[in-house]
Structure 1
Amino acid sequence: MNALGDAHLRTWTLRFMALLAADTPDQLVWLGGRELQTKDVVEELELLCRASEGLADRGAFAPGDLRDLRAIGRRLGEIDAPSRAGLWGNALAADPVWDDIRSLARQVLLTTLNDWRQPLPRPVLPLTDDH
């Protein structure tokens, strides 16, 4: 991957970590009623956790940044199929795994950016028939 692609993927990873690190009420406000499936969030996170290994190899993340990203990946792997079903907004409030991931995401941001409190990414608007 090129440096621009690495920088983009690093930025996307850190933005996702900011969303994961946020308090549950802030996450629910961010969702804004969108029906985001838990399985889709888990799959995206698993991909970012795997990609972070290569990013660290190429210097986009420090090796120390990987410890908590790996821990997030392991925790995600422990989420069973029934817990991946349904809406992420519901899972955030009901499944304690997201509290664990929140704590780990905060640690990623502390290690990488020296502060876990980061602006949340702008929500992606759903596609409409006009676009």
Structure 2
Amino acid sequence: MNPPGDAHLRTWTLRFMALLAAETRAQLAWLGERELETGAVVEEVELLCRLSEGLAERGVFAPESLRDLRAIGRRVAEIDAAGRAGLWADALATDPAWDAIRTPARRFLLTTPGARRQPLPRPVDPHTGDH
């Protein structure tokens, strides 16, 4: 039996991977006027990749799904301090790392049961923190 939070973590991982898999144009539209820091996105991706290891151990994700999550985690870890500074919208337009992340994120969604049609996560209101 999986802990109750596993379903939430699975959903959040799938939605975040949907955001990473989206075309730059869709990512920028999702961001809208929000000023999301690149470092925060990197930290979230790193956390989700680490948590996914445990989710796979508990049967939430298939072990083969981890290949793509590990590839994403490695690519994100390669983003240096300068690449983590500033707004994600700017990094999406200038840092090829985000294009490289798109392919394994798409493959993860295509090979994970129930993940093919994940909506983008709801943006957080920067003023209230509400979803």
Q: What does residue 19 of structure 1 align with?
A: 19
- In structure 2, the residue matched to 1:30 is 30
Residue 24 of structure 1 and its aligned partner are, at CA, apart by 0.4
Moved over 2 A (4+): 113-118
- Amino acid corresponding to residue 7 of structure 2 in structure 1: A
Aligned mates of 1:113, 1:127 — CA distance in 2: 35
Please report how far the alpha carbon of residue 115 of structure 1 lies from its aligned counterpart in structure 2 after TM superposition. Answer: 6.6
Sequence identity (%)? 73
2:62 corresponds in structure 1 to 62
- For residue 127 of structure 1, report the CA deviation from its aligned partner: 3.0
> Residue 94 and residue 117 in structure 1: after superposition, are their counterparts in 2 closer, same or farther (change >3 A)?
farther
1:90 Cα offset (Å): 0.4
Q: Displacement of 1:118 after TM fit?
A: 3.1
Q: Per-residue displacement from partner, 1:14-58 (whole Å, max 9, x unpaired)?
A: 000000111001100100110000000000100000000000000
Q: Could you tell me how far apart the structure 2 residues matched to 1:28 and 1:40 are? A: 16
Q: Which residue of 2 aligns with 1:100?
A: 100
Higher helix proportion (structure 1 or 2):
1
Give the equivalent residue in structure 1 for 2:126.
126
1:6 and 1:19, CA in 2 relative to 1: closer, same or farther beyond 3 A?
same
Residue of structure 2 in register with 1:43 after alignment: 43
Stretch of structure 1 that moved more, 97-106 or 108-117: 108-117
Segment drifting more, 119-128 vs 9-18: 119-128
Give the TM-score of the pair, scaled to structure 2: 0.91
CA RMSD of aligned residues (A): 1.7
Structure 2: gaps (5+ residues):
none
Paired residue for 2:6? 6
* TM-score, normalised by the number of residues in structure 1: 0.91
* Secondary structure at the counterpart of residue 17 of structure 1: helix
Aligned residues: 128
Query: Is the CA contact (8 Å cut-off) linking 1:107 and 1:116 kept in structure 2?
Result: no
Deviates more, 1:115-124 or 1:80-89: 115-124
